[in-house]
Amino acid sequence: PATLGLLGGGQLGRYFVEAAQGMGYPVWVLDPDPASPAGRVAARHLCQAFDDPDALQALAGACAVITTEFENIPRPAVEWLDARACLRPGPRALSIAQDRLEEKAFLGEIGVAVAPWQAVLAGQTPEVRMDAGGPAFPAILKTARLGYDGKGQVRLAQAGELPAAHAELGLVDCVLEAQVELERELSVLVARTADGANEAFPVAENTHHEGILHLTRVPARVGDEPRERATAIARHIAEQLDYQGLLAVEFFLTVAGELLVNEIAPRPHNSGHYTQDACTVSQFEQQVRAVCGLGLAPALLTTPVAMVNLLGDLWPAAAEPDWQGVLAAGRARLHLYGKAEARSGRKMGHINVLGLPGEDDAGAAASTAEALWQGLAEAVDGGVA
Ligand code: ATP
Ligand code: MG
Ligand code: MG
C-alpha cells in the first residue's frame, strides 16, 4: 500500500504508526523532537519544524494521505499541505479544534450546547458581560490557543479577578467560561470517512487530577438517554465538519442533567486508550481505516475496562517504577511510551485493566486500576521520605 504521513510524533502518533505498519502502510512522521515516540518507529522521521518548507515538500511528495496526532500545526503549513496533498482531517476542522474561540462559535452555530462563555481578547480591556449567555461565577479563563492538560487556565471566583487573570495568561486571546457543576465527564470517539460513513466508540467516563486525565472507565455510569445523546452529538459534529479521520469529543454532564460539549480534538485521544485492549478495533486502527477510506470496523466493547494514566511523577529519582506488581495482575495490560525523561505531569504510559467474565460494569476494573496506581505512587512517596 501507499505511504502515509503523520503530523506530530507523540504517543498517539506512535500507536497510529504501529497500527498502520501492521496493516502494511509505511508511515513518515514530521516532528522536530529527535526522541519523539512516533519518529523512532516510523519508516522515516522528518526531524524538522512543522512549518519547514523542505519537510512539507517531502511529505506532500511521498505520502498518499497525511493525517495528524497533534492539533497545533501552524495554519500556513496546514493550508500548504491541503493544497498539494490529501490532508485528513482538513484545514477547517484543524483550525476550529486549535482555537477555543472558533470552536465555541462553531458549536453554537450547529446547535451544540456549551458552558456559558464570552471572548476576552488581546489588546482590549477585559470586561465581564453579565447579559444572557455570558459567564456566571466561579469561572475559568482559558487561552484560546495551545492549552492542554489544564495548562493556560486560571480559575476566577468573581468578576473582579479578570484583569489579573488575563495578565497572568499573557493578555492573549482567551475564552472566559462558567465553571459548571459536574456529575460526570464523558468522551466519545467517532470515525468518519470521506463518503460519510461513521462509527462511534462506546461512551467513556473520565476522571481528572489537576486538569490531567487520570482514569477512564467504560461503560460509563450514565443512563441510556445521555449515553445516546452524547453519541448523537459526536456524530453531528463530525457530520457538520465534513470530517475525515478520527474525532474526539469531550463532554460535561452537569448535576442539572445538561450535556455540554467541553472541547473537541481532531485526532485519537488519551481517553480512547481503552480501545487497545477492550474493543473490536483500536482507535488507532480505526484512524488508519478512516483516513485511507477503508471500511470502518465495528467499534464495540468486548469487556468492561478501566484505563489509568502513568505520569512522570510515578518515576522514582533516576529509576524505573517496579513494573512487576503491575504485570503480576493478569488482567492489567501495561503500555509504556519509551520516553527517556520522566518529568512531572508528563504522560509516560498507561495501564488498561480488563473486566473478568461475569462482570457487567467497570467497577472491579476501576478499583484494580486505582490500586495499581496507588501502589506505584506509594513506592515513590516511600522512596522520597
Ligand atoms: P486536554 O488535555 O483535555 O486538552 P485542556 O487543557 O484543553 O485539556 P480542558 O479540557 O478545557 O483543558 O479542561 C481540563 C479539565 O478541567 C476538564 O476536563 C474538567 O475536568 C475541568 N474543566 C474545564 N473547564 C471546566 C468548566 N467550564 N467547568 C468545570 N470543569 C471544567
Ligand atoms: Mg484541550
Ligand atoms: Mg480537555
3-class SS letters over the chain: CCCEEEECCCHHHHHHHHHHHHCCCCEEEECCCCCCHHHHHCCEEECCCCCCHHHHHHHHHHCCEEEECCCCCCHHHHHHHHHHCCECCCHHHHHHHCCHHHHHHHHHHCCCCCCCEEEECCCCCCCCCCCCCCCCCCEEEEECCCCCCCCCEEEECCHHHHHHHHHHCCCCCEEEEECCCEEEEEEEEEEECCCCCEEECCCEEEEEECCEEEEEEECCCCCHHHHHHHHHHHHHHHHHCCCCEEEEEEEEEECCCCEEEEEEECCCCHHHCCHHHHECCCHHHHHHHHHCCCCCCCCCECCCEEEEEEEHHHCCCCCCCCCHHHHHCCCEEEEECCCCCCCCCCEEEEEEEECCCCCCCCHHHHHHHHHHHHHHHHHHHHHHC
Q: Cell 501552524 identifies what position?
A: 74
Q: Whose CA is nearest to atom 27 of ligand 1?
A: 179
Residues in the 5 Å CB sphere of ion ligand 2: 263
Residues constituting the chain: 385
Please report the pLDDT score of residue 302 as a whole number: 97
For residue 10, report the phi and psi dihedrals to the nearest 5 degrees: -75, -165
Name which residue sits closest to atom 7 of ligand 1, judged by CA: 148
Average pLDDT of each block of 10 consecutive residues along the chain (385 residues)?
A: 95 98 98 96 98 98 97 95 98 97 98 96 80 79 92 94 94 96 98 97 97 97 97 98 98 97 98 98 98 97 98 90 93 95 95 94 98 95 61
Q: How far away, in angstroms, is 383 Cα from ligand 2 center?
A: 33
Ligand 1 lined by 215 (C-beta under 6 Å): no
| Highest CATH level, class, for 182-384 | alpha beta
Give, using CA atoms, the residue closest to atom 17 of ligand 1. Answer: 211
Q: In the prediction, which pLDDT does 127 show?
A: 78
Measured in Å, residue 132 CA sits from the centre of ligand 1 at 23
Question: ipTM score of the complex?
Answer: 0.98
Say yes or no: CB of residue 258 within 6 Å of ligand 1.
Answer: no
Q: Whose CA is nearest to atom 24 of ligand 1?
A: 179
300 Cβ closer than 6 Å to some ligand 1 atom: no
pLDDT, residue 132, reads 60
Residue ranges of domains in the chain? 4-87, 116-178, 182-384
Nearest ligand 1 atom to alpha carbon 142: 11
Question: What is the Å distance from ligand 2's center to 276 Cα?
Answer: 22
The b-or-e profile of 70-86 (16+ CB within 10 A means b, else e) is bbbbeeebbebbbeebb
**Would you give the distance in Å from CA 261 to the centre of its chain?**
14
Mutate to test the pocket of ligand 1, among 100, 154, 262 (most ligand atoms within 8 A of CB): 262
The pocket of ion ligand 3, defined by CB under 5 A, consists of 250
Strand order in the sheet with 139-143: 117-120, 174-178, 139-143, 153-156
Q: What is the pLDDT of residue 160?
A: 92
The whole-number pLDDT of residue 128 equals 79
Give me the CATH code for the 116-178 domain, please. 3.30.1490.20
pLDDT for 385 equals 42
Ligand 2 centroid – CA 356 distance (Å): 33
Please state which CATH class domain 4-87 belongs to.
alpha beta
Give distance in angstroms: CA of 373 to centre of ligand 1: 22
Question: Which ligand has its closest atom nearest to the C-alpha of 12?
Answer: 1
User: Residue 135's pLDDT is what?
Assistant: 75
- Alpha-carbon span 215 to 45, nearest angstrom: 32
Please identify, by atom number, the ligand 1 atom nearest to the C-alpha of residue 178: 27
CA distance 209 to 28: 34
Pocket of ligand 1 contains residue 150 by CB under 6 Å: yes
Of all atoms in ligand 1, which is nearest to the CA of residue 265? 4
Atom of ligand 1 minimally distant from the CA of 150: 6
How high is the pLDDT of residue 383?
Answer: 60
State if residue 177 touches ligand 1 by the CB under 6 angstroms criterion: yes
Kindly state if the Cβ of 349 falls inside 6 Å of ligand 1. no
What is the C-alpha separation between 101 and 93, in angstroms, rounded? 13
